[in-house]
Amino acid sequence: MSDPVRLEIHDGIGTIRLARPPMNALNTEVQEGIRAAAAQATASPEVAAVVVYGGEKVFAAGADIKEMADMSYAAMSARAGALSSAFDAVARIPKPVVAAVTGFALGGGCELALACDWRVVADDAKLGQPEIKLGVIPGAGGTQRLARLVGPARAKELIFSGRMVESDEALAIGLADRAAPAGEVYEQAVAMVRPYVGGPAQALRAAKLAIDGGLSMDLAAGLAWESQLFAGLFATADKREGMAAFVEKRPPHFTGE
């Protein structure tokens, strides 16, 4: 049997591919596979940008409920942190990351998409956090990332109701960034991050750290964090190349150093 999660690298783009048919249910093995693939994408100099993809039919329909149904409070208390941190490993990839969403992205599947920088969704995709209908709440980032993305009032309505959101509404509320026919979602996602291949990797990393880190800070702390990251880039070869290219009126040739 092939791995339920694998990292495929082609032309500078790493694809974290979920492959646990039929619905890519996010059991413990898949969660740990996501963590490992995120770590590999982070470390690999061959990867400049990342696409998270579940295949042509479904992104991920949520956690493996059969695995969770008999778990006690003590058992889940021991597991909950690892579940959340597996998706956080995707959020912390210091490179541009886009989710290519086909079919369903529900529960943990929606949380995985939320951990990405952007979401390209199929025009027939359905996203949501239906955990409330199981008597629980999102436990892998949904209450936090969804509220930061679409605002607390809208996040409360979606999480309290557990309803599914179709692509047009997802675009309207900012849950999705682009929609495409199902057969073109992956290609659209690749096109979205391809411009970053060969880009200034250290500056892209710093920009992502500044934005994501600043969201948890007050303005003064965020500005100080930005200044620190900004100054640090003056030690990079890409800064020297970028500014030299500007002065010399030529395209820059970044090396990621």
Please report how many Cα atoms fall inside a 13 Å half-sphere around the Cα of residue 22, on the Cβ side.
Answer: 0
Three-class secondary structure of residue 106 per DSSP: strand
For tokens 């980032």, name the residue: 141
Residues 6+ away with beta carbon under 8 Å from 28 = 64, 67, 79
Residue whose C-alpha is closest to residue 48's, from 6, 87, 98: 98
Give the whole-angstrom CA distance, residue 189 versus residue 179.
Answer: 10
Cβ atoms of 91 and 144 closer than 8 Å? no
CA distances to 98, 115, 155 from 119, in Å: 6, 10, 17
Q: Which residues pair with 71 in a beta bridge?
A: none
Helix-then-strand count for the chain, H and E: 11, 9
Annotation marks residue 111 as catalytic? yes
Active site residue 108: yes
| Measured distance CA(162)–CA(160) in Å, rounded | 6
**Which of 48, 60, 113, 131 is labelled catalytic?**
131
Query: Which residue among 61, 63, 113, 115 is the active-site one?
Result: 63
Active-site option among 111, 113, 140, 141: 111
Is 257 among the residues known to form the active site?
Answer: no
Find the catalytic residue in 14, 33, 54, 108. Answer: 108
Active-site annotation, residues: 63, 108, 111, 131
